[in-house]
């Protein structure tokens, strides 16, 4: 460990940051280093401080009072994608997410109290927390972009260099914008099953995913219907809270979780279905989050744990239900990218592939480093654009080697990141969700890339 005490401590609190974390989580790490080859940031920088083992060492030493929480230490912790690949690699079962997430929450609290850092930044207040978690606000904000794309004004602004006048993070947002089709109508509150009812499920539609990928929510609902599911779409559901929690804003995340626990009564459904890997991971973690943020409130812990127990990724649920095979042929050469919060956090790998194997004509080509993060990681590609770009290019190189016509991934953030990389380097490859492909096969239709 080097260059760690080059600036003054970030706060003057008597108690070190992270003292509330169960110390056993730190002790589980035996520093074997097997996690390093799975860590995207370590693969790019080669810096031990940017590895899971190194970050655990930093956090533990801060908790022990052996190391001040300098800006340099914080920068190594902030560079973490929270992709949880280290948990897949770890033979000791270290729960890295139970360390980095509450540690970041405490860091943000200290910064907010001191009036410093991103805790009080305009981007977090007005964009990450004020816009992204609200699908309706985001739809209104996207309307001008949709209009500009239709008229080619976005390309004109780029060619004239006008977008360079925007603040860096807004430039990044503009770069991440996908090709926006027509706005999709809101899903009805109740959709009937096709044929005999096999299950009654609730669909979590999300915020960014609903505003930008409404067509995928519709596709998911139709696939569930085709598999005999009655689908309920609660109107008073909220953002999952991942945007807040992963950036250290614990209290707003807990409030959103409590709102969702009210909107989705677990007793009314066989499952609460999610089609976004990052949201699903967050929803399944509600019980752990309640334990961390509301340790003196067993009622909240019980309520959120019960909610979390019913959350299922759509591919996970369909494979356990027993999928009805679609019959529409789609002759497409595709590759599948594992979203980090699906394969590492939720341990779901084969189910999406098994579902896609049911589509007649679809050829699925293995992707090298499929489980290495693409750099999206929720809002990471906005807050850490340099590292996100490096990881995006690494992923793009592996995708191009497959010579695929389509990349399939089960996360909205991954889709935005991959579309941006493909667009910037001039490649016309369809980026789709597994439900998009299945829905087309059920409806006997072809994707635009084959028309």
Query: What's the pLDDT score for residue 245?
Result: 84
Class of domain 23-120: mainly alpha
Query: What's the pLDDT score for residue 114?
Result: 66
pTM for this prediction: 0.89
CATH 1.10.1060.10 range(s) for the chain read 23-120
Query: What's the pLDDT score for residue 127?
Result: 81
The DSSP element (H or E) to which 271 belongs, if any, is strand 271-274
Its CATH architecture, for the domain 190-319, is 3-Layer(aba) Sandwich (3.40)
Distances (CA, A) of 375 to 280, 385, 418: 18, 9, 9
Class of domain 327-450: alpha beta
CATH 3.40.50.1860 range(s) for the chain read 327-450
- Per-block mean pLDDT, blocks of 10 residues, the chain (451 long): 41 73 90 90 93 93 92 91 91 89 83 61 79 86 81 77 75 78 89 96 93 94 98 95 82 94 94 96 93 90 96 98 97 96 94 97 96 86 86 95 96 92 92 97 92 74
DSSP reduced 3-state for 358:
coil
Looking at the DSSP bridge assignments, the partners of residue 335 are 365, 407
Query: What's the pLDDT score for residue 432?
Result: 96
Query: What's the pLDDT score for residue 176?
Result: 79
Handedness of CA 243, 249, 253, 255 (dihedral sign): negative
């Amino acid at each position: 460990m080097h260059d760690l005490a080059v600036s003054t401590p970030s706060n003057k609190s008597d108690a070190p940051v992270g003292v509330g974390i169960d110390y056993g989580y730190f002790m589980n790490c035996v520093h074997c280093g097997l996690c390093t080859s799975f860590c995207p940031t370590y693969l790019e920088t080669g810096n031990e401080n940017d590895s899971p083992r190194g970050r655990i060492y930093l956090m533990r030493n801060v908790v022990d009072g052996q190391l001040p929480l300098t800006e340099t230490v914080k920068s190594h912790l902030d560079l973490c994608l929270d992709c949880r690949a280290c948990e897949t690699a770890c033979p000791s079962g270290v729960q890295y997410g139970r360390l980095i997430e509450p540690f970041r929450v405490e860091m943000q609290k200290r910064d907010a109290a001191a009036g410093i850092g991103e805790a009080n930044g305009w981007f977090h207040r007005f964009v990450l927390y004020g816009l992204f978690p609200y699908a309706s606000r985001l739809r209104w904000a996207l309307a001008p972009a949709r209009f500009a794309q239709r008229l080619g004004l976005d390309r004109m602004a780029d060619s004239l260099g006008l977008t360079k006048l925007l603040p860096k993070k807004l430039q990044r947002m503009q770069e991440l914008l996908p090709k926006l089709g027509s706005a999709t109508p809101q899903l009805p509150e109740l959709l009937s099953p096709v044929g005999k009812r096999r299950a009654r499920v609730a669909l979590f539609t999300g915020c960014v995913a609903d505003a930008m990928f409404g067509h995928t929510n519709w596709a998911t609902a139709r696939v569930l219907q085709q598999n005999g599911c009655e689908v309920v779409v609660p109107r008073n559901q909220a953002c999952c809270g991942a945007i807040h929690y992963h950036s250290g804003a614990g209290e707003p995340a807990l409030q959103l979780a409590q709102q969702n626990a009210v909107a989705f009564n677990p007793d009314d459904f066989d499952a609460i279905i999610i089609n976004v890997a990052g949201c699903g991971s967050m929803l399944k973690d509600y019980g752990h989050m309640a334990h961390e943020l509301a340790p003196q409130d067993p009622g909240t812990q019980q309520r959120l744990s019960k909610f979390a127990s019913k959350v299922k990724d759509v591919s996970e649920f369909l494979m356990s239900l027993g999928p009805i095979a679609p019959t529409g042929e789609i002759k497409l050469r595709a590759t599948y990218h594992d979203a980090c919060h699906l394969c590492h956090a939720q341990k779901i790998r084969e189910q999406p592939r098994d579902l896609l194997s049911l589509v007649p004509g679809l050829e699925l080509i293995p992707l090298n480093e499929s489980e290495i993060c693409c750099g999206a990681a929720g809002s990471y590609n906005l807050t850490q654009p340099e590292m996100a770009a490096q990881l995006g290019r690494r992923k793009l190189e592996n995708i191009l080697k497959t010579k695929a016509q389509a990349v399939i991934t089960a996360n909205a953030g991954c889709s935005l990141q991959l579309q941006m990389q493909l667009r910037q380097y001039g490649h016309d490859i369809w980026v789709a969700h597994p439900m998009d492909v299945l829905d087309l096969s059920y409806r006997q239709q072809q994707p635009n890339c084959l028309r």
